[in-house]
């Protein structure tokens, strides 16, 4: 049966010619035996992806004097994309030091498989098949360096396909005030391939998703913006030492955040008319609007609630007067 029939014509066209070639005739598939070792060190590392059942075995022949990978081979147990990615991964390791090989990312592998620089080598949903490239390199390096594999990962990775960490994503979202997944992908490439890192329900389970980061950071930004506005309105001193403009801004910010949402929910509203200083008391003059104008509690419960909130937030002797 033709590979085109197995994969589907439309999907097959999304694979680069280089990927197709390495699927059918991988250049670096095979093993390195003890007989080939000589004075070099032989490392054999295995890594499997639980999400799709693919597995890869990486062979390195390393010159211990220079830590240079003199020969690199692989065996892959998985789909054609995993084979092609593993083949390119093994090739990219050749003649590099172990530390240099650790810098190879899944994006490096995918880009090396492209026919043209601006056209992806594999469809996005198959990008996860190249995730094993970085992981098996890290496994081989940890074996050679005799350290724990996790010690080589200094950051918590959210997007495995693009190797983008939580720290990087958080910084980019904050710095550029991003609000959508599409914006995050445009800035970082995270979420642009298998999409498992975007939200629950993808190819792989994640402890943290891009949507979680967006929600958390944007909620924090909103709270910081509210606090900033109140601080700016209050100035550096107390309510008593503010200018009239600062006092008005301070009262307005509290009315907008704590009072108006409740009044508007019942069809009403409140307008700040003026602030007057009378015998040590700050009279805050207000005017009710909408349903509040005819409400029986506008001079009792509602009025007391507004006054108590302003006193509590501004720490000042305040009396609310209805006009």
Active site residues: 52, 129
Q: Do 181 and 209 meet the contact criterion of CB atoms below 8 Å apart?
A: no
With contact defined as beta carbons under 8 Å apart, do 120 and 130 qualify?
Answer: no
Which DSSP category does 29 fall into? B
**Helix spans in the chain (H):** 3-7, 9-12, 17-24, 80-93, 98-101, 106-112, 131-145, 166-176, 181-188, 210-234, 244-254, 260-265, 301-314
The rounded distance, in Å, linking the Cα atoms of 72 and 98 is: 12
Pairwise CA distance, residues 211 & 218, whole Å: 11
Helices 181-188/166-176 angle, 10° precision: 110
For residue 177, give the 3-state DSSP assignment. Answer: coil
Task: Give one DSSP letter per residue of 36-93, joined into a string.
Answer: GTTTSEEEEEEEE-TTT--EEEEEEEEETTTTEEEEEEEEEES-HHHHHHHHHHHHHH
């Amino acid at each position: 049966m033709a590979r085109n029939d197995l994969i589907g014509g439309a999907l097959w066209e999304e694979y680069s010619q280089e990927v197709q070639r390495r699927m059918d005739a991988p250049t670096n598939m095979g093993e390195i035996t003890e007989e080939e070792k000589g004075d070099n060190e032989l490392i054999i590392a295995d890594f499997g992806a639980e999400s799709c059942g693919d597995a890869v075995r990486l062979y390195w022949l390393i010159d211990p004097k220079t830590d240079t990978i003199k020969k690199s081979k692989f065996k892959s147990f998985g789909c054609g994309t995993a084979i092609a990615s593993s083949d390119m991964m093994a090739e990219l390791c050749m003649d590099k030091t172990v530390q240099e090989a650790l810098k190879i990312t899944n994006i490096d592998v995918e880009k090396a498989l492209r026919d043209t620089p601006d056209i992806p080598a594999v469809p996005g949903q198959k990008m996860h098949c190249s995730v094993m490239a970085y992981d098996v390199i890290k496994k081989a390096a940890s074996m050679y360096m005799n350290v724990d594999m996790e010690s080589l990962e200094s950051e918590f990775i959210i997007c495995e396909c693009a190797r983008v960490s939580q720290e990087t994503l958080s910084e980019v979202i904050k710095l550029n005030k991003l609000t959508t997944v599409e914006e995050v992908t445009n800035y970082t490439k995270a979420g642009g391939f298998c999409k498992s890192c975007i939200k629950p329900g993808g190819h792989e389970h994640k402890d943290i998703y891009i949507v979680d980061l967006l929600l958390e950071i944007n909620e924090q930004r909103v709270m910081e913006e509210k606090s900033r506005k109140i601080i700016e309105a209050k100035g550096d001193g107390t309510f008593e030492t503010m200018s009239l403009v600062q006092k008005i801004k301070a009262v307005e910010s509290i009315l907008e955040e704590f009072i108006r949402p409740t009044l508007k929910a019942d069809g009403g509203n409140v307008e700040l008319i003026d602030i007057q200083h009378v015998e040590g008391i700050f009279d805050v003059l207000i005017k009710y609007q909408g349903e509040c104008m005819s409400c029986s509690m506008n001079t009792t419960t509602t009025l007391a609630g507004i006054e108590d909130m302003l006193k509590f937030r501004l720490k000042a002797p305040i009396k609310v007067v209805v006009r």
